[in-house]
Amino acid sequence: MAKIIFFQPHPDDLEINCGHIIHYLATKSKNKHIIKIASTTKGEYGLPGAEYDKFKGDFLAKVRTRELCNAQSIHGIPPENIHFFGYVDGLVEFTRDFANEVAEYLKKEKPDVIFAPEAIYTSYYHRDHVNTGKAIYYCIHNKLIDFTPILYFYSTLSPNFFFGFKKEDFSLIDQLLACHKTQFWLINYVTWTYRPKTRLAGRKLSGWKYAEKYRRVYFHKNNRKLNKPSLIVQMLSHWYSSMPFFKAKYPQDVLAELKEKGKI
């Protein structure tokens, strides 16, 4: 039995990145693992355009929290196993304070395995995602915690671990995503790439047609060479990092306040 924590920046990020492996570990594994979800934000500004301003903030945070709980109930994960760090959607910075808060959470939970968004070689260069991954890597690499959990990054361009699933299991992802009704404007945009990506990943795993892909990070000095990506991955990472990422759409009064505070 292992304690496994899945980190996400927003309440819907795990569904399309880790949905199959979470479901397997929580419901099908012979070992009764302890599965926990840690969300950096509540996605309180995750709606497009000013026409939705009246819903943004605390109201949307409550709705998205409920959506996350509904989705995780499909895996049998109860609300008490979900932790929110309380950072603002779209404004997650990689700071020592953030890393320290993550470290305190890890010291308390002492997970054996962590899944988190890719911090370096990522296909989704969103600030909240990258900085969440960076904070977790920093905690382990710089020994802010006195143990070394196994770390896997998702949404990676440099995978070295694949989790296979069957074609009929796509229905699981449909069920999970259906719980996030507030996000269908975005989900409909990104899901059209889901099948091709998982099909390509499945080609790397013998005996499977579809797979989720992850990068295991090696911290021991004798294994660090395994972290080195190909030249193509390095080039793609540089290209992705130069692209504008999706930003939260803040109401005008919130936008003015955040600008005055120098946060955006």
Q: Tell me the CATH number at 245.
A: 3.40.50.10320
Q: CA 244 → CA 130, 141, 172, 239, 240, distances in Å?
A: 13, 29, 31, 11, 9
What is Dmax (Cα atoms) for the chain?
A: 56
Higher per-residue confidence, 179 vs 261: 179
pLDDT in tens, 141-192: 999 999 999 999 999 999 999 999 999 999 999 999 999 999 998 888 888 8
Q: Band the pLDDT of 260: cuts 50, 70, 90.
A: confident
Query: What's the whole-model pTM score?
Result: 0.95
Q: Mean pLDDT over all residues of the chain? A: 94
The rounded percent of the chain whose pLDDT value lies above 70 is: 100
Range of the domain at 51: 3-260
The pLDDT of residue 70 is 98
Whether 263 shows a pLDDT value over 90: the answer reads: no
> Cβ–Cβ contacts within 10 Å for residue 96, how many?
11
Q: Band the pLDDT of 239: cuts 50, 70, 90.
A: confident
Show the beta-strand stretches assigned E in 120-246.
150-154, 161-165, 210-217
Higher per-residue confidence, 57 vs 186: 57
Q: CA 171 → CA 16, 186, 213, 260, distances in Å?
A: 12, 19, 19, 46
